Structure 1
Amino acid sequence: MAVEVVMPKLGMSMKEGTVSVWNKQAGDPVKKGELIASINSEKIEMELESPADGTILDIVVPEGEGVPPGTVICYIGDANESISKIERNIETAQTEVAATATKVKESQPSVQTAAKEKIKISPVARKMAEAANLDIRTIQGTGPGGRITKEDVQKAIANSSSVESPSTKEPKPAETITHNIEPTKKVPVAGMRKIIAERMQGSLQNSAQLTLNMKVDVTDLIALQKQLTETAQTHYETKLTVTDFVARAVVLSLQQHKEMNSAYINDQIHLFDSIHLGMAVALDKGLVVPVIRNAENQSLIQLAQNIKSLAKRARQGQLSHEEMKGSTFTISNLGAYGIEHFTPILNPPEAGILGVGATYDTPVYIGDKLERRTILPLSLTFDHRVLDGAPAAAFLRTLKQYLEEPFTVLL
């Protein structure tokens, strides 16, 4: 009896999951507990293990396609087990649903529509064929039981393009832009990448964003950091970084400028007493923002420990959905990549996000004396609907004072 492998529910709010990568293909043997695929939903990604020993009989959901949790994505069974019955049951159900919908719209469905629903074809292949205006009855399926696959449709599209007369073919906008250059690879925008794309586009469209830049002299801060490194490592097993000092200084500054610790929601400005600090973490396939809750109650060393713990768990894919929501202000650090100033995009519905760049040394006049100093670039993006440039600049000035007098963040 074939075992159904379903799309798991990765969080209470999960509505759709996507197979990022299939590590096994139809016909491959698998052992129970062996990695067969990677799946993701919104900002959570995890590896999917085989629930049983056997052979991958059929992959129902291809890479990049989103499906609701509980949907069967593949079957595992004996190598000689027939999957025709499985496919027939799936397609019968699809046909019944389609036939019911057709009866509502038309009292007498056409023979052509009925025949179309009986043809074995994967959901992705059907969408591709419809987009290319191909008659699926003319496509020869090479999949199990004659099922039409994505590759079959791609081949049919290629054949159709080769016989079509250039003089009668109406160019499409995409073809005009690319000058008929075929891409080496097409990557579906799904899962984490899709959520990031939608949120970032929505952030720019639904808020009035403005970015202020400021340079901070962190020469004394770096000297203090080096002095405390051994003590922090010995007593707390934690390495203090410049980011930790910045995070603590941000918290102290937000306590003095509460309008920056706010959100624009339903034409209202929500001001928060508690500071839930978001720390952006870059992953191989996207970006997540774990949240340090009630950061105003934490010391420098506690903040440093939480920043490192959440970042580590984020890279291991172990964060829960609850740990990545509810932030009131976000910090994004691109200093490790050598970036100085950049324009961070608001993490909606927050009113502010701080971009931290790479430090660099430069000569600076201290009175009449020229000294070598270390400069830290900061970029503050804020929502102009919530506050104006002057109070945003005042927040940056306060932040600068804390960082240039680093002992104050320890008090």
Structure 2
Amino acid sequence: MKVFRLPDLGEGLPDAVIRQWHVREGDSIAADQALVTVETAKALVEVPAPWGGSVEKLFAGEGDTLETGQPLVGFKDRTGSAEPAPSQPGDASAGQPPTDSGTVVGRIDQGSEQLHAESRPIRIRPRNATPAVRALARQLRVDLAGLHPAGARFTEAEVRAAAPRTSSKPPEPQTSKRPVPTNTGNTEPARRAMALAMSRARDLVCPMTLCDEADISKWPKGEPATLRLLRAIAAAAAEVPNLNAHFVDDALAPQSPVNIGLAVDAPKGLFVPVLKDVDSHSDEQLLDAVRSFRKQAMAGAIPQPDLQGATIHLSNFGSLGGRFATPVVVPPLVCIVGAGRSHEAVLPHKGKAKIRRLLPLSITADHRAVTGGELARFLAALKNHLTQA
């Protein structure tokens, strides 16, 4: 039986909940046909069949939770089932009496006995992990041969996510259908993903946070704060590109274009949809995307591709409350911008005391990859673009 395991469905997510099977045991299906719909941390995803064949076993029922890399579907192995059993000389079931196979001068008898069934050549799997990732897998006792990477190569996150499974018994395969459970509290997939991401951030990131306030008194009345923040972050990233970057295998890799992950608070947890290539969109397109993401987050059904590819994060927590914070950087990103609630203050302006509107800013960076000077320059550039009319 060929076993297809649950693949990594994005950003090293640790598990998924089976929501709806689209096939049954005994069905014959084609490659890329939809097998099952699963719920990951923040989206419903259809998993396609990696190859065609006959479904022999479903390893989980609807409502079950599977970890990445655990068996999902078993397919009948055509080579194993089609191989004929070798016959024995003199077998009565052949319907023929045993014949003399001795040597006769001038003639050689030829028998029909199958001596050996030719087997398929063994495929050698290409290297699908860097030396550093293979070393990490050995250290954590993770067998990469039994797993499938989400891309061309395994990532450090995939290896770490697979590590706990090596020390525990896999759950018993279940095929019976169960009612979809009502998730509450920490059983929500989004909250499980948040807990995992925060644990990785705590273990990997060396955070440093700078805070300041931007004078936004020149903004036109009714100016959308989120739009101004998106534009200012893109402009600041162009001036200090090391903040719009990934830090992988101890190497800083500045990214282009600027893809901003926007934190959205929702009943099921924190969602971070990604606004791709901010500079390529008009103001109205960006506002439409933000409204769409918020609506989808409330329904708990943001498409998986819209949750991937961020190069920098934005948390506009001031729309709910609070002035300053210590936002958490989620690797492999190196920076997150936090905007607090704007307020009015009496400040000296052109030699006089005037009431000015201020926007609090809190920016955290991963000090393993970013210097304090780079973070300060990024904050100064961000303030400069926010204070413009």
Provide the rounded CA distance (Å) in 2 between the counterparts of 1:62 and 1:301. Answer: 41
Q: Tell me what 2:386 maps to.
A: 403
- 1:137-168, CA deviations, whole angstroms, 9 ceiling, x for partnerless residues? xxxxxxxxxxxxxxxxxxxxxxxxxxxxxxxx
- For residue 378 of structure 1, give the secondary structure of its aligned residue in structure 2: strand
In the alignment, residue 193 of structure 1 is paired with which amino acid?
A: R
Q: Tell me what 2:328 maps to.
A: 345
Q: How does 1:97-246 map to 2 (within 5 A)?
A: 187-189=185-187, 191-221=189-219, 224-226=220-222, 241-246=224-229
Contact 1:40 1:192 (8 Å CA) reproduced: no
Contact 1:65 1:190 (8 Å CA) reproduced: no
Listed as ranges, the gaps of 5+ residues in structure 2 are 1-5, 20-37, 46-59, 74-183
Q: Tell me what 2:262 maps to.
A: 279
In the alignment, residue 348 of structure 1 is paired with which amino acid?
A: P
Q: Structure 1: which 4+ aligned runs deviate by more than 3 Å? A: 8-16, 60-71, 186-190
Deviation at 1:357, TM superposition (A): 0.4
In the alignment, residue 399 of structure 1 is paired with which amino acid?
A: L
Contact 1:276 1:326 (8 Å CA) reproduced: yes
In the alignment, residue 284 of structure 2 is paired with which amino acid?
A: I
1:254 equivalent among 224, 227, 237: 237
Contact 1:275 1:293 (8 Å CA) reproduced: yes
User: Aligned-residue CA RMSD in angstroms?
Assistant: 3.4
Does 2:304 correspond to 1:321? yes
Q: Tell me what 1:336 maps to.
A: 319
What TM-score do the two structures reach when normalised by structure 2? Answer: 0.56
2:357 equivalent among 351, 363, 374: 374
- 1:20-58, CA deviations, whole angstroms, 9 ceiling, x for partnerless residues? 9xxxxxxxxxxxxxxxxxx84222269xxxxxxxxxxxx
Deviation at 1:207, TM superposition (A): 1.4
Q: Tell me what 1:179 maps to.
A: none
Deviates more, 1:387-396 or 1:299-308: 299-308
Higher helix share: 1
Provide the rounded CA distance (Å) in 2 between the counterparts of 1:264 and 1:244. Answer: 27
Instruction: Give 1 or 2 for the bigger CA radius of gyration.
Output: 2
Contact 1:278 1:291 (8 Å CA) reproduced: yes
Provide the rounded CA distance (Å) in 1 between the counterparts of 2:71 and 2:205. Answer: 33
- 1:213-257, CA deviations, whole angstroms, 9 ceiling, x for partnerless residues? 011111111xx143xxxxxxxxxxxxx511111111111111111
Deviation at 1:64, TM superposition (A): 9.1
- For residue 310 of structure 2, give the secondary structure of its aligned residue in structure 1: coil
Q: Tell me what 2:81 maps to.
A: none
- 1:291-336, CA deviations, whole angstroms, 9 ceiling, x for partnerless residues? 1111122233332222222222222233211110110001001112
Deviation at 1:196, TM superposition (A): 0.7
Provide the rounded CA distance (Å) in 2 between the counterparts of 1:321 and 1:277. Answer: 16
- For residue 43 of structure 1, give the secondary structure of its aligned residue in structure 2: coil
Q: Give % identity.
A: 25
- For residue 365 of structure 1, give the secondary structure of its aligned residue in structure 2: strand
In the alignment, residue 343 of structure 1 is paired with which amino acid?
A: T
Provide the rounded CA distance (Å) in 2 between the counterparts of 1:290 and 1:338. Answer: 21
- For residue 307 of structure 1, give the secondary structure of its aligned residue in structure 2: helix
Contact 2:342 2:359 (8 Å CA) reproduced: yes
Provide the rounded CA distance (Å) in 2 between the counterparts of 1:307 and 1:190. Answer: 23
1:188/1:380 CA distance change after superposition, 3 Å:
closer
- What is the count of residue pairs matched by the alignment? 244
Contact 2:268 2:300 (8 Å CA) reproduced: no
Contact 1:276 1:293 (8 Å CA) reproduced: yes
Deviation at 1:401, TM superposition (A): 0.9
In the alignment, residue 213 of structure 2 is paired with which amino acid?
A: K
1:188/1:404 CA distance change after superposition, 3 Å:
closer
Q: Tell me what 1:43 maps to.
A: 42
Provide the rounded CA distance (Å) in 1 between the counterparts of 2:14 and 2:322. Answer: 36
Deviation at 1:385, TM superposition (A): 1.5
Q: Larger RCO: Structure 1 or Structure 2 (Cα < 8 Å, ≥ 6 residues apart)?
A: 2
Does 2:371 correspond to 1:388? yes
1:15/1:369 CA distance change after superposition, 3 Å:
closer
Contact 2:42 2:300 (8 Å CA) reproduced: no
Deviates more, 1:212-221 or 1:190-199: 190-199
Provide the rounded CA distance (Å) in 2 between the counterparts of 1:205 and 1:17. Answer: 24
Contact 2:323 2:340 (8 Å CA) reproduced: yes
What TM-score do the two structures reach when normalised by structure 1? Answer: 0.53
1:44/1:368 CA distance change after superposition, 3 Å:
same
Listed as ranges, the gaps of 5+ residues in structure 1 are 1-7, 21-38, 47-59, 72-185, 227-239, 407-411
